[in-house]
A and B are shown apart, each in its own frame.
Chain A
Amino acid sequence: MATVWHFYRDSFRNMTWGRPLVWLILLKVFILFAILRVFFFKPAMAGLSDEERSRVVGERLTGEHPEVGDPVPVPETYQP
């Protein structure tokens, strides 16, 4: 384990052209998880239990759709 640790540590310390790339990756990960995820990409069903999620999606699926007896429009011949 110590050998592996030294391999990574020394390699990162001695990096030349790769150093800005590592900073770029760290910056990107920070933006992704500390800004975008926290402030903009909040899960729409966060905090709901599995039962509540099933109910919400079930209502969405069965809530707004034409009824069984509603006539289906006859398709017109497709013309581009």
Chain B
Amino acid sequence: MTAAYHWLFVPLTLGLALVMAVMETIYVIRKDDFWKKTAQYWMKLFAINFAVGIATGIILEFEFGTNWSNYSWFVGDMFGAPLAIEGILAFFMEATFFAVMFFGWEKVSKRFHLASTWLTGIGASISAYWILVANGWMQNPVGTTFNPEAVRSEMASAQAFWEVISNPVAVSKFFHAITSGWVTGGVFVVGISCWYLLKNRQRKFARASILIGSIVGIVGSFAVMLSGDASGVHAAEFQPMKLAAAEGLNDGGRRAAFTIVPGIRIPGMLSILATHDIDGYVPGINDILNGYTDNEGNEIPSVAEKMAMGRKALVALSLYRSTDDPSEKAEARYALEENVQYMGYGHLEKPEDVIPPVGIVFWAFRFMIGLGMLMLLELLVVGWLAWKDKLTGKRWLMIAALACIPLVYICGQSGWIVAEVGRQPWTIQGLLPVNVAISSLSAGAVKTTFFLFLAIFTLFLVIEIRILIGAIKKGPETSNE
């Protein structure tokens, strides 16, 4: 929930960073003050969003220590290293380039200022990468070994670190998150610009902003589709239960159909999306419960078998930590290493525990895709009409563009639900279920801290929206043509 709240601010930061960088580039190339003022206006909205969004992520780090202490210890340096790099990088890049971007208009050269604007956006994106390296590892824990002595996951070598940072799940998540931010930024810019057109204000500014916003949003939309395709393939490979839940697929098979909505299906489409092969096998929920043979011919054990292996791992861990006999210790370590990849299954009570809330994931997936397609359509239509200068009089379209602003947030949050609710019950896929990852706190204590955070930060959100609306009403400093 806290991460979802943080995610309210991040996409707009990423998207507006690109929009204003493109606008300033046009200013530097054309030497036209109109583009400078246009870029400055969106920079102002960027700053307001940034000011309120900044540090909402810090609360997550507090929660790791308070609510997720077992998890925090278990993940060890694997989680600490990327987050530390993110923190240091974000601080230095933002303290320098962000400051130059806001304060340096008349104090540094145009090119240096432009470089600072681009580097602010690039810095924010690189920060996101390190966060998603940590998140990607939770979805696909590669590159680490479990140390039974310390009860931690450790990166043993530089090679392991490389495996962690090049984790395919992290890479596809990164591109998916960044480019969805471009869509959010594009839809936001187009929507606000349409509001000016509805008010018959700042027409030149609004049209120019719609053109840039729609191009950024359209490029982002196609990039989201490509990265989403990669995410789908990775889900099929590393988290098949998440994909089965997102599709509501009880019984899988070859030439699996993609469900648009219940009752409307495209034969073979799911196999194509998940495996890039119409004859590719996609396991359903029951196949995963009972075991199946994957597309490489590997026999995937049933959940019951994984649970048995997980229990062996936990008993071996217990013996390893309690015995002083070297031969017993060696045997226990061997048994642990043989079964460690299923260690988390040892905590489950019954096989069905591996099924996430299917209804939530299924509908969130449909909201994400449906709203994403709607955003692309809106950007194409409004962008095209702005290009042809034919938006005048199309009030309904401008109202629709304005209404798309909340919808693009719902779209982004739906994606977050698919990714995070879809991987339940795991905190770390296959290794650590949520009920073991959490601290020994009462539910009441966790609720108290969460709702306290929610109340305080919602107050900040209300303040942001008020400042944002004030800035929008005031408008840019371009002439009111």
Interface positions of A (Cβ within 8 A of B): 7-8, 11, 17-18, 20-22, 24-25, 28-29, 31-32, 36-37, 40-46, 50, 53-54, 56-58, 60-62, 65-68, 70, 72-80
Contacts of A28 in B (CB 8 A): 54-55, 460
Is B210 positioned at the interface, with any CB of A under 8 Å from its CB?
no
Instruction: Encode B28-56 as 1/0 by CB contact (under 8 A) with A.
Output: 00000000000000001001100110110
A-B contact pairs, 16 of them (CB 8 A): A7-B104, A21-B467, A36-B453, A37-B62, A44-B439, A65-B314, A66-B346, A67-B311, A68-B308, A73-B350, A75-B290, A75-B302, A76-B352, A77-B250, A78-B289, A78-B352
A46 contact set on B, CB distance < 8 A = 65
- Chain A nearest Cβ from B311, distance in angstroms: 5
Q: Number of contacts between A and B (CB, 8 Å)?
A: 149
Q: Which residues of B contact A77 (CB under 8 A)?
A: 250, 286
The answer to whether B351 and A75 touch across the interface, beta carbons within 8 angstroms, is yes
Question: Does B152 belong to the interface (CB within 8 Å)?
Answer: yes
Task: Contact check, B441 vs A75: say whether CB atoms are below 8 A apart.
Answer: no
B interface residues, how many (CB within 8 angstroms):
68
Determine if A78 and B452 form an interchain contact, defined as CB atoms under 8 angstroms apart. no
B103 to chain A: closest residue by CB:
A11
Besides A17-B44, A31-B456, A76-B352, 14 other A-B contacts (C-beta < 8 A) = A22-B51, A32-B59, A44-B69, A44-B439, A54-B149, A61-B151, A61-B314, A62-B314, A62-B317, A62-B318, A62-B321, A68-B312, A75-B286, A75-B352
Among B107, B248, B449, point to the contact of A80 (Cβ < 8 A).
B248
The distance from the CB of A3 to the nearest CB of chain B, in whole angstroms, is 10
Interface centre among A20, A43, A75 (most CB of B within 10 A): A75
> Which of A21, A32, A62, A78 touches B55 (beta carbons < 8 Å)?
A32
- Please report the C-alpha to C-alpha distance between residue A29 and residue B312 in the assembled complex, in whole angstroms: 46
Nearest-CB distance from A66 to chain B (Å)? 6
Does A54 contact B151, Cβ atoms closer than 8 Å? yes
Q: Is the CB of A68 within 8 A of B315?
A: yes
Closest to A70 in B: B311
Sorted from nearest, which 3 A-B pairs have the closest CB atoms?
Answer: A11-B103, A43-B65, A44-B69
| Residues of chain A contacted by B69 (CB below 8 angstroms) | 43-45
User: Which residues in A have their C-beta under 8 angstroms from that of B104?
Assistant: 7
> Which of A17, A25, A54, A78: most chain B Cβ within 10 A?
A78
* Min CB gap A13→B, angstroms: 10
- Least CB distance from B425 to A in Å reads 14
Partner of A65, one of B67, B102, B346, B449: B346
Q: Is B150 in the interface zone, CB < 8 Å from A? A: yes
In angstroms, how far is the closest chain B Cβ from the Cβ of A44? 4
In the assembled complex, which residues on chain B have CB atoms less than 8 Å from the CB atom of A8? Answer: 99, 103
Contact residues in B for A42 (Cβ distance below 8 Å):
65-66
Q: How far is the CA of A68 from the CA of B311 in the complex (A)?
A: 5
Q: Which residues of B contact A60 (CB under 8 A)?
A: 70, 436, 440
**B354 CB, nearest partner CB in chain A, Å:** 9
Q: Is the CB of A61 within 8 A of B452?
A: no
- Tell me whether A75 and B47 are in contact (CB under 8 A): no
- The reply to whether the CB of B264 lies closer than 8 angstroms to some CB of chain A is no
- Chain B residues with Cβ under 8 A from A73's Cβ? 304, 349-351
A73 and B307 CA atoms in complex are apart in Å by: 10
Contacts of B312 in A (CB 8 A): 68
The interface centre, meaning the residue of A8, A24, A61 with most chain B CB atoms within 10 A of its CB, is: A61
Contact (Cβ within 8 A) A74 B311: no
Q: In B381-396, which residues have CB < 8 Å from any A CB?
A: none
Q: Please measure, in the bound complex, the distance between the C-alpha atom of A1 and the C-alpha atom of B58, giving whole angstroms.
A: 30
- Taking a contact as CB atoms under 8 Å apart, the answer to whether B471 and A41 are in contact is no
